[in-house]
Amino acid sequence: MIVLSAGGVTVVVDVDGGLPAIVHWGPDLAGTAPAALRDARRPVPGTNAPDRPLRLALLPEPHDGWTGRPGVLGSRAGRGWAPRFTPRRVLLDGIEVTEAVTGAGRLDVESRDDDAALGLDVVVELLAGGLLRCRATLTNLADEPYELGGLLLALPVPAEAAELLDFAGRHEHERVPQRRAFTVGTHLRENRRGRTGADSAFLLHAGTPGFGFARGEVFAVHTAWSGNHVHLAEQAASGERVLGGGELLLPGEIRLGRGEAYTSPWLYGSCGTGLDELAARFHRHLRTGRPRPVTLNVWEAVWFDHDPARLVDLAERAAALGVERFVLDDGWFGARRDDRAGLGDWTVSPEVWPDGLHPLVDRVRSLGMEFGLWVEPEMVNPDSDLARVHPEWIMAARSELPPESRFQQVLDLDRAYVHIRDALFALLAEYDIGYLKWDHNRDLVEAGGTGGRPGVHAQTLALYRLLDELRAAHPGLGIESCSSGGARVDLGILERTDRVWVSDQLDPHERQRMLRWTAQLLPPEYLGSHIGAARSHSTGRVHDLGFRAATAVFGHLGIEQDLAAVPEAELAGLQEWIAWWKANRELLLGGDLVRMDVAGDDLLVHGVVAPDRSRALIALVRTATSATAHTPPLRFRGLDPERSYRVRPLVIGDAPAGLPGWAAEGVVVTGAALEHAGLASPVLHPDQALLLEVSEIDSRQNR
């Protein structure tokens, strides 16, 4: 029995006689003997069931009586399909153990099945903040190839976790939450898009019915893989419940010869009281302290119309507002005057840029800004020099090409690797580029590699290898994961990138909820969050600067509009918002995320609290007309209940008309009063937001 404890979480793992089986995953158990816990929880066999009680391992085995999805799916032409693994060696943080032990860190269990000639190594790691992760490596020990169909890990959850939450979505409407009962059978989310997908499960939760941001016992898993993948929730007829995940392997994609091995992606697990505590474990794991400069991206300012003089003017306007990074988007290379041609030809267009990018890069750098560049290395237009020279580098499952999407096909990175790597290295060598916006604008449909064999697995590994090489050669290089907006958001890509583009949708009405739910996995500093034009080009809605900015500041702030077309009065307001964000950047991007459970769906309350509980920034957002005349009192948790705080509205530009009486001078309340009693709320119209600044004061001032 191995006991891992960290961050208020305890994981008890049984390695006695079989693959690792989790006996407990959840809150600390205050001195309970792990062997006694295992014996106390051992189930009584049911009627018409195996005489031996089910032992549910991390990779469930049919031999143990599991009738659900097996952890290992594969065979040698029909043999070796039901392996039974026996542990040979158990290591805790690299030291072999032979008896029950309590520790922290990484557990490695090396097992074999001599009859099936397979080796299986399972890793279980409890990270410092209480985040659990596990993965497995399967090795073929025979001469005959072993065709693997899946290697999925499964974490047990209690019977009280009777409600599921995961996500759906589409382009420009990512991360849409959906709930359902956790019933007998399998809730299976298969992602076959070749990338994470805007409609991916993202995180699969199970919790006590009605769980919210602060209430209920909640568990969740996330498959850290940027290609095809699986999330599942399964309840056996015998009552056991698991959450699991892994890579979705296409037929014949993994055939292991003697000595060859396959390693699954990490399956991450988080638990807590409410969704906020669960999310905080992911946030603590991801936070790096990397600088987050205010960014201007020029896509919605100029689209494909690259005029050097206009772009230099845009850079000068941006610098005057306080922008710290200037990103040149699509259209700078090859024959790329629209989206029909040039993709794959990663050389600067002499037609548009006769002097190369040097005049623009030099001006951007002289203005004190970092220069960033848009690329899409995994894609190719059939109308491109690259496709004409190397048509065999286009991924296809048959002699004909897959259907085009956005006039492009998928480039086989496994075969084109050296060419693409050298092109990117050449750009980074010639220009002072500090940042790459790395796009990926289509699904991998019929993505065949050499000989038409399934190529998604190899493509994903080639992408990881390419990003790793770039970062090793250029440690300071920032990389953004953009994929038709937010279609590649996962912890596999986030090991190699610094932020994600949440969505191509800049309408703040839509962005409010996309930011809210993308933050279930990623902390605010990873969320690309830009202030767009007053009229959204994707929805046609018109919003004032206050609502657009109050939405965008709870992420990695940027601008996505033509500054030359912005009225002077709005430019002044934009400059004020940028200055305020920079002054509060440490709190906004380093504080603890707090989201309130509010009755109805027409009001959102969220914010960030400083780790020392001395300050907070709260957003109150009205998204629709309320059915009641009065807004319920504003309540906010996360502060120290015994300390006193001054709460006052942040007003940049025009103040809302419906502010309550306390707003004029601010009000002093305790953290307990703000959480349990609340304050009279302002009257806000739909698509209107108010930010509140909360600062600790000397408690004597409250007498």
CA nearest neighbour of 532 among 577, 500, 503, 562: 562
- Residue 514, phi-psi category: left (phi > 0), alpha (psi -120 to 50), beta (remainder): alpha
504 labelled catalytic: yes
CA nearest neighbour of 197 among 465, 460, 485: 485
Secondary structure of residue 288 in the 3-state scheme = coil
Say whether pTM exceeds 0.75: yes
- The upper half-sphere exposure of residue 378, i.e. CA atoms within 13 Å in the direction of its Cβ, equals 29
Secondary structure of residue 94 in the 3-state scheme = coil
Q: Alpha-carbon distance 689 to 202, whole Å?
A: 28
Q: Alpha-carbon distance 271 to 273, whole Å?
A: 7
CB 366 within 8 A of CB 431: no
The CATH architecture assigned to 376-501 reads Alpha-Beta Barrel (3.20)
H-helix or E-strand spanning residue 302: helix 299-302
CA nearest neighbour of 345 among 308, 306, 389: 389
- Tell me where in the chain the CATH 2.70.98.60 domain(s) lie: 2-41+54-286
CB 219 within 8 A of CB 211: no
Catalytic residue among 329, 414, 439, 592: 439
Neighbours of 305 (CB within 10 A): 11
Output the CA torsion sign for 51, 55, 56, 59.
Answer: negative
Catalytic residue among 14, 199, 504, 687: 504
- The upper half-sphere exposure of residue 412, i.e. CA atoms within 13 Å in the direction of its Cβ, equals 23
DSSP-derived secondary structure letter, 495:
G
Give pLDDT, residue 246. 98
What values do phi and psi take at 654, rounded to 5?
-80, 135
What values do phi and psi take at 400, rounded to 5?
-85, 155
Structure tokens at 519: 């933050």
- Tell me where in the chain the CATH 2.60.40.1180 domain(s) lie: 593-702
Q: Alpha-carbon distance 354 to 307, whole Å?
A: 11
CB 484 within 8 A of CB 194: no
Neighbours of 638 (CB within 10 A): 23
Give pLDDT, residue 6. 94
CB 204 within 8 A of CB 166: yes
Neighbours of 237 (CB within 10 A): 11
- Tell me where in the chain the CATH 3.20.20.70 domain(s) lie: 376-501
CB 474 within 8 A of CB 158: no
Q: How far is CA 65 from the centre of its chain?
A: 35
DSSP-derived secondary structure letter, 377:
T
Residues of the chain with pLDDT under 70: 699-703
Report how far apart, in Å, the C-alpha atoms of 569 and of each of 296, 354, 533, 690, 691 are.
19, 36, 14, 20, 21
Structure tokens at 11: 């994981």
Structure tokens at 310: 């206009």
pLDDT, tens digit (0-9, with 9 covering 90-100), for 406-446: 999 999 999 999 999 999 999 999 999 999 999 999 999 99
Q: Alpha-carbon distance 669 to 307, whole Å?
A: 55
Give pLDDT, residue 702. 46
Give pLDDT, residue 656. 81
The answer for residues whose C-beta is within 8 angstroms of residue 396's C-beta and 6 or more apart is: 402, 446, 448, 452
In this structure, the strands spanning 409-410 and 241-247 are unpaired
- The CATH superfamily of 593-702 is Golgi alpha-mannosidase II (2.60.40.1180)
With vertex at residue 110, the alpha carbon angle to CA 105 and CA 116, rounded to the nearest 5 degrees, is: 150
CB 288 within 8 A of CB 478: no
- Residue 440, phi-psi category: left (phi > 0), alpha (psi -120 to 50), beta (remainder): beta
Give pLDDT, residue 596. 97
Amino acid type, 619: A
Give pLDDT, residue 699. 55
For tokens 């190719």, what's the residue? 380
Report how far apart, in Å, the C-alpha atoms of 638 and of each of 341, 608, 612, 670 are.
52, 9, 11, 12
For tokens 């709260």, what's the residue? 618
For tokens 């988007």, what's the residue? 329
Structure tokens at 417: 């690797």
Q: Alpha-carbon distance 382 to 399, whole Å?
A: 15
The CATH architecture assigned to 2-41+54-286 reads Distorted Sandwich (2.70)
